[in-house]
Amino acid sequence: MIDTIEAAWSPLAATPLFWIVVTVGSFLAAKRLNRICNGSAAANPVLLAILLTAVVVAVSRVPYPTYFAGAQFINFLLGPTTVALAVPMARNMRHIKSTAPALALALTVGLLVSISSGIGLVWLLGGSHAVALSMAPKNATTPIAIVLSQQIGGLPALTATLAILGGIISAMIRRHLFSFLSIDDHRTHGFVAGVVGSGVAAAEVSSLSGLAAGFAALGIALNGAVTALVMPLLAVFWH
């Protein structure tokens, strides 16, 4: 019996289609779980989907590159989807223009605090240099963060993980934090999600309103550009 399952399983687990089905299936299951939990931020669908998929990958004893050989077709859609954020951005261009100085200031303060506290906390708690440098670019959207991490001497794979986990944490606590700070402006919700949490948090904030989605798109773009310009300086002054 087990032999029969193994005989059917092994060739199946090597096909790209199998891992696409597992990934999409996990995401649908995660969304359903999130609905069962009344859309609670703690039951973040991206986090649940990653856990479900990771369990299947681990149980089937398949190496990550084999999984990714299939899942890359889903990963590929990140490109056109990032471009698609231009639509909510264009719809809200008037709001963006009228708030440009506030956005520039918030971006500068937010990035300074987030980069320095990330490096500082790792350093204070005895983490290694490589881990601290992997933490530094994590707020930028994942593809930018990976390239920057490599450039400054971090661990690119760890940075990718941190960028996604940071986005998940940001999506999980933003709503509670903002109601505590009594902030309900969708421009702030969107921009903050884009700057601290990039794509993952933007995916969550887009369900709030088109205004929030537009500001999140802008947050991702500006954060990516500024982080890309600042990181090489960090590498020069701190090594």
Q: Which of residues 101-120 bind other proteins (CB under 8 A)?
A: 101-103, 105-107, 109-115, 117-119
**Stretch of 8-16, 35-43, 51-59 lying at the interface with other proteins (CB under 8 A):** 51-59
Q: Of the candidates 29, 33, 41, 95, which one interacts with other proteins according to CB under 8 A?
A: 95
Closest residue by Cα to residue 166 from 203, 197, 202: 197
Quick check: 66 binds other proteins (CB under 8 A)? no
The residue among 7 and 75 lying less far from other proteins, judged by its C-beta, is 75
**Stretch of 2-10, 35-43, 97-105 lying at the interface with other proteins (CB under 8 A):** 97-105
The residue among 7 and 238 lying less far from other proteins, judged by its C-beta, is 238
**Torsion angle, alpha carbons of 131, 137, 139, 141, to 10:** -120
| Least distance CB 4 / other proteins (angstroms) | 28
Q: Of the candidates 9, 87, 153, 233, which one interacts with other proteins according to CB under 8 A?
A: 87
| Rounded-to-integer distance, Cα 34 and Cα 54, Å | 18
List the interface residues with other proteins, window 124-183 (CB under 8 A). 124-128, 131-132, 135, 138-139, 141-144, 147, 155, 157-158, 160-162, 164-167, 169-170, 173-174, 177-178, 181, 183
- 86-93's contacts with Cβ under 8 Å and 24+ in sequence apart are 86/217, 88/206, 88/210, 88/211, 88/213, 88/214, 88/216, 88/217, 89/214, 89/217, 89/218, 90/214, 91/210, 91/214, 92/210, 92/211, 92/214, 92/215, 93/214
For residues 116 and 137, the answer to whether their CB atoms sit within 8 Å is no
| Least distance CB 32 / other proteins (angstroms) | 13
Residues sharing a CB contact under 8 Å with residue 83, sequence separation 6 or more, in sequence order:
none
Place of tokens 């609670």: 40
| Rounded-to-integer distance, Cα 98 and Cα 187, Å | 11
| Rounded-to-integer distance, Cα 166 and Cα 171, Å | 9
List the interface residues with other proteins, window 196-235 (CB under 8 A). 196-197, 199-200, 202-204, 206-207, 209-211, 213, 217, 220-221, 224-225, 228-229
| Least distance CB 225 / other proteins (angstroms) | 5
| Least distance CB 214 / other proteins (angstroms) | 9
Crossing angle for the helix pair 198-205 and 156-180, nearest 10 degrees? 40
**Stretch of 8-16, 35-43, 122-130 lying at the interface with other proteins (CB under 8 A):** 122-130
